[in-house]
């Protein structure tokens, strides 16, 4: 494994002002301005809801006008030096043209929207959810760590680069969607099509989006940029059975049969499996070689490992999964029954019961495996109750179980290459070198993966080199900063370090001969 051997990488093309840039970014004056900018962004409640209507029709989108105005006021140099195009009204696409058009662009991503704060939880927050309150350590509020921190840090880095007189050789693109939390159809989807039509397939050198963070594990420190994503599929199951009066119930009605199927689904989960291209396997190899507290049993199973057949039990994956659910689901297809509807009246038997089952598909597997598995379970229940089974190719009929999947179906993402060569840089080596320069050579950089998806699902055609990485690191902030829940917050030091990383990465990519 060679990933961790990348040397610290510092920009070499400097002027007096660029030389002083990192010192300025570490100053108290910049820290105060940076906190103020992030706090102000959090105070604009850019919530996106699952039931949003069309852009321009649903007034809940209008808050994004306010957010765009805030960015324009807060980053005047960005808005004067870069070309801003608004895609589908609220998606913001900034372009900083490079002096050498033959170089593929660098693309930095983030999203403007945040998950809603349920009214019932507001009183549970230490500080109000859209206050942007700063307590000398953290900026509090919805979106502070998912992912207005990354969005503001990108713009702060570019603003500082402009101020220091930086002129890029390589074009820089900033692509800011506005509905990532509700699947990105209106934002990232439209942005990616716009970018593909302008630049063409595989025309971008590297893409950085929100994602995995730096962690302490097995007695060592790791940066884990996400180089893969699990797939996604929602399956709707409809049980149709005869209605009638509740005073004369059959032995089993539609809700009972649907419940039996739910129980069967939960009783037959997918087993952990580390396919050869899952990045978590690379992390295990890296940990076994360099982490002082790496478990001996895992190391033994790693040494014994051969190429895995999907039909066999994967003892390495089963052992690794014991670390907890957050680890297990990095290499296990997840299944969750999330929605159920059935019945309309207390004295009428339910004629139609629907359940929705969410899957996050393991790297190395595919949607076909999910369809086969859930169809076989539904067939068992259909046969038991003499119901017609219609799997994924028909319409509902009386006395039947019908399965369908939604258009949100997504196969696991292509794996980003992570080779490092001694003589020629790669996007991954630039990322590793930038990270090790910021945090010291004690930090190991290994390919990572997350359980969820990002807006990069729409960008596969633009680049092979996609990294989902949140470079800010605050050891006092456990995990991802309470994203999607009460007391979301972002460490001020981690935020400033994100700004420093973004500025250095842009400069290092600008100098890289790739």
Name the residues annotated as catalytic: 113, 180
- Residue 344: which of 243, 445, 261 has the closest Cα? 243
- Residue 479: which of 213, 217, 225 has the closest Cα? 213
Q: Which burial class, exposed, middle or buried, applies to 499 when counting CB atoms under 10 A from its CB (0-12, 13-18, 19+)?
A: buried
CA dihedral 285, 287, 292, 295 (to 10 degrees): -80
**Strand 400-405 with 388-391, pairing:** parallel
Instruction: Give the span between the Cα atoms of 233 and 334, in whole angstroms.
Output: 10
Instruction: Give the span between the Cα atoms of 343 and 327, in whole angstroms.
Output: 38
CA distances from 92 to 79, 293, 459 (A): 11, 45, 16
CA distances from 200 to 18, 82, 197, 219, 293 (A): 33, 21, 6, 44, 46
Question: Is 117 strand, coil or helix?
Answer: coil
Half-sphere exposure of 146 (CA within 13 A, CB side): 26
CB 205 within 8 A of CB 105: yes
């Amino acid at each position: 494994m060679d990933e961790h051997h990348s040397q610290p990488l510092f920009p070499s093309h400097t002027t007096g002002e660029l030389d002083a840039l990192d010192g300025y970014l570490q100053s108290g004056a910049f820290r105060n301005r940076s906190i103020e900018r992030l706090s102000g962004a959090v105070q604009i409640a850019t919530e996106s809801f699952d039931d949003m209507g069309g852009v321009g029709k649903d007034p809940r989108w209008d808050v994004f006008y306010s957010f765009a105005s805030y960015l324009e006021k807060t980053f005047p140099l960005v808005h004067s030096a870069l070309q801003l195009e608004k895609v589908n009204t609220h998606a913001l696409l900034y372009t900083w043209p490079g002096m050498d058009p033959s170089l593929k662009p660098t693309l930095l991503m983030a999203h403007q929207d945040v998950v809603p704060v349920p009214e019932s939880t507001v009183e549970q927050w230490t500080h109000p959810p859209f206050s942007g309150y700063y307590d000398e350590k953290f900026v509090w509020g919805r979106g502070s760590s998912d992912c207005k921190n990354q969005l503001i840090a990108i713009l702060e880095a570019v603003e500082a680069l402009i101020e220091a007189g930086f002129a890029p050789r390589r074009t820089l693109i900033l692509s800011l969607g506005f509905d990532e939390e509700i699947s990105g159809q209106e934002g990232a989807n439209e942005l990616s099509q716009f970018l593909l039509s302008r630049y063409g397939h595989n025309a971008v050198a590297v893409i950085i989006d929100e994602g995995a963070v730096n962690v302490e594990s097995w007695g060592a420190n790791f940066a884990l940029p996400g180089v893969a994503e699990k797939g996604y599929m929602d399956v709707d199951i409809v049980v149709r059975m005869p209605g009638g009066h509740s005073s004369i119930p059959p032995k089993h009605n539609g809700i009972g049969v649907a419940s039996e199927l739910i129980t069967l689904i939960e009783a037959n989960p997918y087993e952990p499996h580390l396919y050869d291209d899952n990045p978590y396997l690379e992390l295990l190899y890296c940990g076994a070689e360099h982490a002082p507290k790496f478990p001996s049993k895992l190391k033994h199973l790693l040494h014994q490992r051969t190429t895995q057949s999907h039909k066999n039990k994967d003892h390495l994956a089963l052992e690794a999964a014991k670390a907890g659910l957050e680890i297990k689901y990095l290499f296990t297809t997840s299944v969750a029954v999330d929605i159920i509807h059935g019945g309309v009246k207390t004295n009428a038997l339910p004629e139609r019961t629907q359940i929705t089952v969410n899957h996050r598909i393991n790297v190395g597997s595919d949607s076909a495996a999910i369809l086969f598995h859930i169809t076989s379970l539904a067939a068992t229940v259909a046969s038991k109750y003499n119901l017609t089974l219609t799997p994924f190719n028909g319409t509902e009929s009386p006395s039947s179980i019908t399965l369908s999947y939604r258009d949100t179906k997504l196969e696991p993402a292509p794996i980003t290459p992570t080779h490092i060569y001694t003589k020629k840089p790669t996007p991954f080596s630039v990322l590793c070198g930038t990270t090790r320069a910021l945090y010291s050579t004690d930090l190991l950089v290994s390919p990572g993966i997350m359980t969820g998806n990002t807006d990069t699902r729409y960008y596969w055609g633009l680049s092979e080199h996609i990294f989902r990485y949140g470079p800010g690191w605050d050891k006092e902030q456990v995990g991802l900063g309470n994203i999607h829940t009460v007391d979301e917050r972002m460490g001020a030091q981690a935020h400033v370090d994100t700004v420093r990383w973004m500025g250095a990465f842009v400069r290092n990519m600008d100098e890289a001969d790739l």
